[in-house]
């Protein structure tokens, strides 16, 4: 088949998203990989997600490689090579007789097998190309349809980094089982062979070079390896390249032994060593990007040989950073302070060097782009030694970082065997890479690194909370630093990442920028409030990326802790952080709005790329966050300014639960934490006979229940004497709230039940009593705690819900406003309680639409909440909450119904009309045209109108929508990949505004209409000197 014809069939020809020729080589992020693919994979072009068209500081993302060959065997070899590159999910190979589609992230078997093995599609007739490869057509990629159809082929388990990691683990375990008890020796030898294999496959360690040294490859690195030959090769390399990469002494190599040396050499050279050893013949280290080789770091850290029996990495709180996250942080720093020659970069916890490699590569690519020539080895060495620095406490990590940086340098050296130069690799240890502790302020690294502050400080520091009672010796300097600085630089829960945030500022230049990946809970947890207060006063935070909703896919299942990236600088002395102009930009993506992470039937797919959709950006006023409160960050993710007005208004109008508790009207406590006999002996707990035989509530069956009115008898079990022990000082208050009359409240606020029966409140749950015996108040409170407003308020105010676990604290309950200004005048609530009891008869719940509606209506009336507040509450609980913990819930992503579109249009019109006021003879006409997966809202300004204009919801096929349908098609063509980068696309013309968005329920709620109206108003009043069409979003 003719390549050009295939490109036309795939809609790639003429598309700005399809890169070929010089455009491939100039790509600022992937140029080095695409140039290699041109040489090794016969790459002709690549279809991309062109993020740079929407934000010049974002990297474009390769989606499809198009390669050309005339050989079945070459097609299979190309597939293996592309899999080794680990950057593109789909590969199309075109030949004169066929077109074959392969998964770029999956490879099976050997290159000499049937070329159809592992192929997704094989097409032998040109007329079938467009149909068979429909999900890969330009319009399908641009619209996101490809991920729904073929997202199942984009899985982490089959990627080269996962397979390589598994194989290296297996090899390390084999060595341990075969007598290499020194893990450091095992790691060094494995690292050395990765290095040597890379040199060999890059033809740096060429046959000519081996002949020059009179060394036999087979005797040094083959199946007949000899210790003496291997030693000589290592020595020659060190002399030639100044190779301090994975240093191995003669005694250590001899300790490793010749037989084990042969086994490892055979494995790395692609042969079969027998037994349980893995095969490495599918790996091509000349093609695997250096940044991907960072997975070796995880191999070292996650071998379980820490004294605590946890993995070394988990014990240190250190984890592998995915390359997309590395690129995101590098790009974001670069947008604020572009990296250029003369600037110094530091990673204070550099690990495998992933961040340092990408920074080094960016410097090289920029020099290459301006000089238009290959850089000399000495220039490459200068860029490395004068710009890139790292510190890490782990020896293995430092060796990997040095290896990664050295290999990155060699990747740009031509000819690869350095036959025309006397260049040697620069030694990096104790010059650029320091095996040291960043918290040892008088360490040897300090004199070398602190003479000149750093322009960039970047990294992913350990996320470990130090426990003084169970402290590793390696962590003592960090804890000592926290103790010395606790007054001026507080840290929440002894979290090392927060301490590193402080240390990074010490090491940065006054005009420098800092980008760190930290636990997302830093923004929310109570223990970190003091940290937030002090940190925000001492630093200038300018961007935060909150990845909490991506926790299940961001690290491809290797870790599930929610992450956030902080971007900040040292605060200039004259900067007024209380100024209304000082803002922090916040990016809080949801998995459901990431097309590349959604597979068929809305299944989650591990993230392999990361970019910013402008619609997920919010701005927080610095003066609203400088007091350390968590709610602004929660609202930036889950809510809007409307939610702050709703909650803040209710809190100002009514006393809180905590205030009534202080007044002695109510009393709340966590449940009893009982112990058995063994635990009692260890903890010194006391026996309480009054607990024996008392009923305790079983909470587990209630996890998915709501609107409980009473507890079924099977949920109550007597407490045995063997479990009636309680620690001293933890009995009286919890026991008092277990006495009737009382209210039992679920930890996740899914139930609140009034009862006249004595029931022990279990741990984690909350019990409430009225010390003055006000049963009516308790009944009213139980009903109120089941209302939508309470769930809404508690969700937006608690620390973990929506971030990590759906758990609500007693502290959050005490912040709840209670619409009971007079606790003795509760007639409406008492009446409703009686009505519910009568309506449900013997049932244990009142989960009926009419009863729930009455409860919510009474709550809204009592709190004096209007229609906008009700819409905000309803939309969060019944739409957006379906996205909690990275879920892709049907309630949020289903197509909106006609009445919901009408409601959206009506609210949007009303908001816009309200802005111009009743006196102006101007009104807004709002129409919606839907087709396929998107809907277009058209807002027209109509002069001479005084009353509300009717809204219209139409299908694109309706006669009345014909003109609008043409406009919709034009917008989609002009903004082809809007779904990825500007999901809520707004385009302004002189008398008409268009809003294009996907047909997902969460995009068409009443609160979204209020937000859209606000955005349209704000953007419309901005002056446009050209008077031309503008795009927003």
> How far, in Å, CA of 567 to CA of 6, rounded?
44
For the chain, first and last CA: distance in Å? 42
pLDDT for res 129: 94
Q: Is the dihedral of CA 1004, 1007, 1011, 1014 positive or negative?
A: positive
Q: What is the pLDDT of residues 268-298, one digit of tens each?
A: 887 665 666 767 888 998 899 888 877 665 5
For residue 64, give Cα distances in angstroms to 19, 54, 90, 211, 607. 10, 20, 5, 41, 17
CA distance readout (Å), 366 to 33, 338, 379: 15, 11, 13
- The reported pLDDT for the residue numbered 308 is 44
- At 724-780, the pLDDT tens digits run 999 999 999 999 999 999 999 999 899 999 999 999 999 999 999 999 999 999 999
* Residue 93: strand pairing partners: 67, 100
User: Mean pLDDT lowest for which of 68-77, 101-110, 487-496, 1022-1031?
Assistant: 1022-1031
pLDDT in tens, 581-636: 899 999 999 998 888 877 655 566 677 888 888 889 999 999 999 999 999 999 99
* pLDDT classification of 312: cutoffs 50, 70, 90: low
| Fold adopted by 3-153 | tt1808, chain A (3.90.1570)
Backbone angles phi, psi at 969, to 5 degrees: -60, -40
Cα torsion angle, 1017, 1022, 1027, 1031, sign: negative
Helix axes 1006-1020, 898-916, angle to 10 degrees: 40
pLDDT tens sequence across 823-840: 888 999 999 999 999 999
pLDDT tens-digit readout, 215-271: 999 999 998 999 999 999 999 988 887 655 677 889 999 999 999 999 999 888 876
Rg (CA), the chain: 32
SS3 content of the chain, % helix, strand, coil (to 5): 45, 15, 40
The pairing of strands 433-435 and 388-392 is: parallel
pTM score, whole prediction: 0.92
Give pLDDT tens digits for 420-451. Answer: 777 888 989 999 999 999 999 776 787 777 77
Hey, what are 288's tokens?
């695997």
* Tokens 């079938």, residue located: 128
CB 177 within 8 A of CB 159: no
C-alpha span between 686 and 674 (Å, rounded): 10
Sign of CA dihedral 978, 979, 985, 989: positive
**Alpha-carbon separation of residue 136 from 20, 51, 67, 275, 932 (angstroms):** 17, 18, 15, 42, 18
**Model confidence band, residue 991 (pLDDT cutoffs 50, 70, 90):** confident
> Tokens for 637?
């993710």
pLDDT at 927 over 60: yes
Provide φ and ψ at 752, rounded to 5°: -150, 115
More confident call, 86 vs 399: 86
pLDDT tens digit sequence for 42-56: 999 999 999 999 898
From 648, 634, 455, select the one nearest 544 (Cα to Cα): 634
Which segment of 197-206, 357-366, 484-493, 598-607 scores lowest on mean pLDDT? 598-607
Residues whose CB is less than 8 angstroms from the CB of residue 414 and which lie 6 or more positions away in sequence, other chains included = 374
Nearest-10 Cα torsion for 497, 498, 500, 502: 170
**Alpha-carbon distance values, 667 to 36, 155, 732, 813, 815 (Å):** 69, 52, 12, 12, 14
Kindly tell me if the per-residue pLDDT of 315 is higher than 80: no
Q: Which CATH architecture group holds 323-623?
A: 3-Layer(aba) Sandwich (3.40)
Cβ neighbours for 677, distance < 8 A, ≥ 6 positions apart: 722, 725
Q: For the chain, give the mean pLDDT.
A: 90
């Amino acid at each position: 088949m003719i390549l050009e014809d295939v490109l036309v069939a795939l809609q790639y020809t003429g598309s700005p998203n399809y890169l070929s020729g010089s455009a491939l080589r100039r790509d600022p992020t992937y140029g080095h990989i695409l140039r290699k693919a041109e040489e090794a994979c016969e790459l002709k072009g690549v279809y991309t997600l062109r993020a740079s068209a929407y934000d010049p500081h974002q990297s474009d993302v390769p989606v499809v490689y198009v390669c050309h060959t005339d050989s079945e065997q070459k097609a299979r070899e190309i597939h293996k090579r592309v899999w080794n590159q680990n950057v593109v999910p789909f590969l199309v190979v075109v030949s004169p007789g066929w077109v074959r589609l392969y998964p770029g992230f999956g490879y099976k078997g050997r290159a000499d097998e049937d070329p159809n093995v592992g192929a997704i599609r094989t097409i032998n007739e040109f007329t079938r190309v467009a149909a068979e490869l429909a999900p890969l057509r330009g319009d399908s990629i641009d619209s996101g349809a490809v991920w729904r159809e073929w997202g199942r082929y984009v899985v982490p388990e089959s990627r080269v980094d996962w397979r390589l990691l598994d194989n290296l683990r297996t090899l390390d375990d084999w060595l341990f089982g075969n007598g290499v008890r020194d893990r450091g020796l095992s790691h060094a030898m494995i690292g050395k062979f990765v290095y040597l294999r890379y040199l060999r496959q890059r033809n740096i360690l060429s046959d000519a070079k081996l002949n020059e040294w009179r060394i036999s490859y087979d005797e040094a690195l083959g199946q007949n390896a000899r210790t003496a030959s291997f030693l000589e090769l290592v020595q020659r390399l060190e002399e030639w390249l100044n190779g301090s990469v994975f240093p191995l002494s003669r005694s250590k190599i001899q300790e490793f032994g010749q037989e084990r040396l042969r086994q490892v050499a055979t494995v790395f050279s692609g042969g079969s060593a027998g037994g349980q050893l893995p095969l490495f013949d599918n790996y091509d280290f000349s093609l695997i990007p250096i940044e991907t080789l960072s997975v070796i770091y995880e191999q070292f850290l996650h071998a379980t040989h820490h004294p605590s029996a946890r993995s070394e990495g988990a014990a240190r709180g250190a984890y592998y950073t995915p390359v997309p996250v590395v690129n995101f942080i590098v790009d974001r720093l670069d947008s604020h302070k572009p990296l250029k020659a003369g600037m110094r970069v530091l990673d204070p916890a550099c690990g495998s060097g992933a961040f340092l490699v990408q920074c080094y590569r960016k410097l090289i690519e920029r020099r290459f782009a301006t000089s238009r020539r290959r850089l000399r080895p000495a220039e490459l060495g200068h860029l490395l030694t004068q710009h890139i620095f790292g510190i890490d406490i782990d020896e293995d990590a430092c060796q990997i970082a040095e290896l990664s940086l050295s290999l990155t340098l060699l990747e740009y050296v031509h000819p690869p065997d350095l036959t025309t130069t006397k260049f040697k690799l620069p030694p990096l240890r104790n010059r650029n890479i320091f095996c040291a502790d960043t918290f040892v302020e008088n360490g040897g690294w300090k004199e070398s690194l602190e003479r000149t502050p750093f322009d960039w400080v970047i990294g992913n520091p350990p996320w470990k909370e130090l426990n003084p009672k169970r402290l590793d010796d390696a962590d003592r300097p960090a804890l000592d630093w926290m103790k010395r600085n606790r007054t001026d630089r507080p840290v929440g829960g002894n979290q090392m990442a927060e301490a590193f945030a402080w240390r990074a500022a010490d090491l940065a230049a006054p005009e420098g920028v800092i980008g760190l990946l930290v636990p997302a809970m830093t923004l929310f947890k109570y223990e970190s409030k003091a940290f937030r207060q002090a940190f925000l006063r001492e630093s200038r935070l300018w961007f935060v990326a909150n990845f909490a909703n991506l926790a299940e896919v961001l690290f491809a299942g290797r870790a599930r802790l929610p992450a956030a990236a902080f971007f900040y600088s040292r605060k200039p002395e004259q900067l007024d952080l209380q100024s209304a102009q000082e803002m922090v930009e916040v990016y809080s993506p949801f998995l459901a709005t990431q097309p590349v992470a959604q597979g068929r039937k809305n299944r989650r797919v591990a993230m392999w790329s990361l970019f910013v959709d402008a619609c997920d950006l919010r701005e927080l006023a610095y003066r609203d966050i400088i007091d350390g409160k968590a709610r602004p960050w929660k609202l930036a993710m889950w809510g809007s300014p409307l939610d702050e007005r709703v909650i803040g208004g209710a809190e100002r109008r009514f006393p809180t639960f905590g205030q009534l508790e202080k007044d002695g009207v109510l009393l709340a406590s966590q449940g009893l934490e009982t112990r058995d006999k063994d635990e009692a002996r260890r903890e010194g707990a006391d026996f309480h006979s009054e607990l024996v035989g008392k009923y305790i509530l079983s909470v587990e069956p209630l996890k998915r229940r709501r609107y409980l009115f009473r507890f079924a008898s099977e949920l109550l079990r007597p407490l045995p004497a063997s479990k009636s022990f309680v620690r001293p000082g933890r009995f009286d208050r919890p026991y008092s709230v277990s006495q009737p009359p009382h209210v039992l409240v679920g930890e996740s606020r899914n139930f609140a039940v009034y009862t006249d029966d004595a029931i022990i409140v279990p741990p984690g749950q909350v019990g409430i009593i009225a010390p003055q015996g006000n049963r009516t108040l308790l009944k009213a409170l139980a009903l109120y705690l089941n209302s939508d407003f309470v769930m809404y308020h508690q969700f937006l105010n608690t620390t973990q819900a929506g971030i990590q676990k759906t758990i609500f604290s007693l502290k959050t309950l005490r912040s709840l406003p209670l619409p009971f200004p007079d606790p003795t005048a509760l007639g409406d609530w008492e009446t409703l309680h009686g009505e519910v009891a009568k309506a449900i008869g013997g049932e244990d719940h009142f989960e009926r639409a009419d009863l729930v509606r009455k409860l919510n209506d009474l709550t809204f009336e009592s709190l004096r909440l209007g229609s906008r507040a009700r819409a905000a509450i309803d939309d969060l609980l019944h739409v957006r909450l379906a996205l909690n913990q990275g879920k892709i819930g049907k309630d949020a992503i289903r197509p909106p119904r006609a009445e919901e579109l009408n409601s959206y249009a009506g609210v949007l019109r009303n908001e816009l009309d309200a802005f111009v006021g009743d006196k102006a003879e101007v009104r807004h006409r709002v129409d919606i045209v839907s087709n396929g997966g998107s809907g277009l809202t058209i807002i027209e300004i109509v002069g001479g109108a005084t009353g509300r204009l009717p809204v219209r919801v139409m299908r694109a096929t309706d006669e009345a929508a014909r003109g609008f349908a043409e406009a919709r098609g034009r917008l989609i063509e002009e903004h082809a990949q809007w779904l990825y980068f500007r999901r809520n696309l707004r385009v302004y013309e002189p008398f008409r505004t268009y809003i294009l968005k996907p047909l997902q329920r969460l995009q068409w709620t009443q609160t979204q209409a209020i937000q859209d109206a606000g955005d349209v108003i704000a953007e419309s009043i901005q002056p446009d000197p050209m008077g031309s069409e503008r795009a927003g979003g």
